[in-house]
Chains A and B, each alone.
Chain A
Amino acid sequence: MDYFEPKTVSEALLLLAKHGAEAKVIAGGTDVMVDIKYKEEPGCLINIKKIPGLGAIRENGSCLRIGALTTIRDLETSGLVRDKLPVLWEASHQFASLQIRNTATIGGNICRASPSGETLTPLLVLDAKAKIAFSDGEKTEPFASFFQGPGKSSVGSKGLLTEIDVPYPAAGSKSVYLKHAVRGAMDIAMVGVAVLITPDAAKTSLQDVRIGLGAVAPTPLRATKTEALLRGKPLTAALLKEAAAMAASESSPISDQRSSAEYRRWIVEALTRRGLVQTWKAVTGKEIA
């Protein structure tokens, strides 16, 4: 196996162009090392961990710019993330174990493009964008169109994710990330649901609603029909019931060792309901009538 430690993004891109599909990019290594041992050793390993400048969290106006090499622990211990992007903080806090959070990077979690990737539904509801470097220039891609299937994303075999741009949610909005797993730590979500709502000025109806579903389709996804159903309306008990059922119908889970498809749909319904109840209460101070 060939091994490279590029010192710049352009050097990494040259290596990717040269070695193509047989090259594997590694940063934290928490996923790639398992593949090397239990699946297949790539022809070439490109370790991007030593490229300077890709590990910072910076505020830029009303947006947070997160370098791809930022570790999950860096997100978890960042006051800016906790204060401005609480839904991403919650997902980082629930991510695997401390040991894994100390090495795993947000870029790795994204590029892995696993439907259950912990940070992905928060990034979807935050309307975040990926900055991807290619040899012919940089491309900015919203996460809404970034994921193409398990392990497949717009990064492809020639690109390098360099930064994640996350706009701050509207003032007055509330969010929650709910994960359903057997164990509290070190467990992959059976279902993950991120909910972000923004009330109207009077705090009587939903001006904006965003619902992200994880581990229940080939990619993490937004429950767009459910969002459209809710938008502009006050959240009543009847609407809540209809919305939760609709979110379940928008998912297309598989059965695997973690749970059956049927069970996952029930959990999508339950977590969507719970997420809306919690955020509505946080926004209005009231229970749903």
Chain B
Amino acid sequence: MSITINTTINGNAVTASTEPSMSLLEFLRDTLEYKGTKLCCNTGECGACTVIYNGKPINSCVTLAADANGAEITTIEGLAEGDKLHPVQQAFIDTGAVQCGYCTPGYIMSVKALLDRTKKPTQTDIEEAVSGNICRCTGYAKIVDAIQLAAQKL
């Protein structure tokens, strides 16, 4: 059985068909070729697949692709404007908050959602916002620096 999805990804209307058991992550990566959203634990525990779904950060690996129907989704590809990086992306570079980089798109989406809802996040806000994102290079101090820098710039 195949179902048709009408959705908006990074501001663009998209129509595509999918298997009903497919996750939003598989739909983004394998059907629509948005490879910036990462597959890691595939059980909703590590945050590498974080996207913004109707304004909220979610784990796309444990969300049905079918739930993209009628939704507005932002992926890491939707942040930069041409060659100009989004302030959150630039802050991760400026503070050296990237090591292997695999968790970075998920972090950046969590932080983008945080700064969309809070202009001046407290330490607690920051910790809560990225508590569902795991970095196995253990670069957490620099990630917090990046979030604080991004908050100042925005």
- Name A's B-contacting residues (CB within 8 A): 1-3, 5, 26, 29-31, 33-34, 36-38, 41, 45, 47, 49, 73, 96-100, 102-103, 184-186
- Smallest beta-carbon distance B29→chain A, Å: 14
- Name B's A-contacting residues (CB within 8 A): 1, 3, 19-21, 23, 42-45, 47, 50, 53, 56-59, 61-64, 66-67, 110, 128-129, 131-134
* In contact, B47 and A34 (Cβ under 8 angstroms): no
- Smallest beta-carbon distance B8→chain A, Å: 17
Q: Which residues of A contact B44 (CB under 8 A)?
A: 30, 33-34, 96, 99-100
A31 to B62, CA, bound (A): 8
Report if A99-B132 is in contact (Cβ < 8 Å); known contacts: A29-B62, A33-B62, A47-B67.
Answer: yes
When C-beta atoms are compared, the residue in chain A nearest to B3 turns out to be: A3
Contact of B62 among A45, A49, A103 (CB under 8 A): A103
Chain A interface, >50% SS class: mixed
A2 to B44, CA, bound (A): 24
The 6 closest A-B pairs by CB, nearest first: A97-B132, A3-B20, A185-B131, A33-B62, A102-B56, A99-B59
When C-beta atoms are compared, the residue in chain B nearest to A49 turns out to be: B67
- A sample of 14 inter-chain contacts (CB < 8 A) reads A1-B1, A3-B21, A29-B63, A30-B59, A30-B62, A38-B43, A45-B21, A98-B110, A98-B131, A99-B50, A100-B62, A100-B132, A103-B53, A103-B58
- Smallest beta-carbon distance B18→chain A, Å: 10
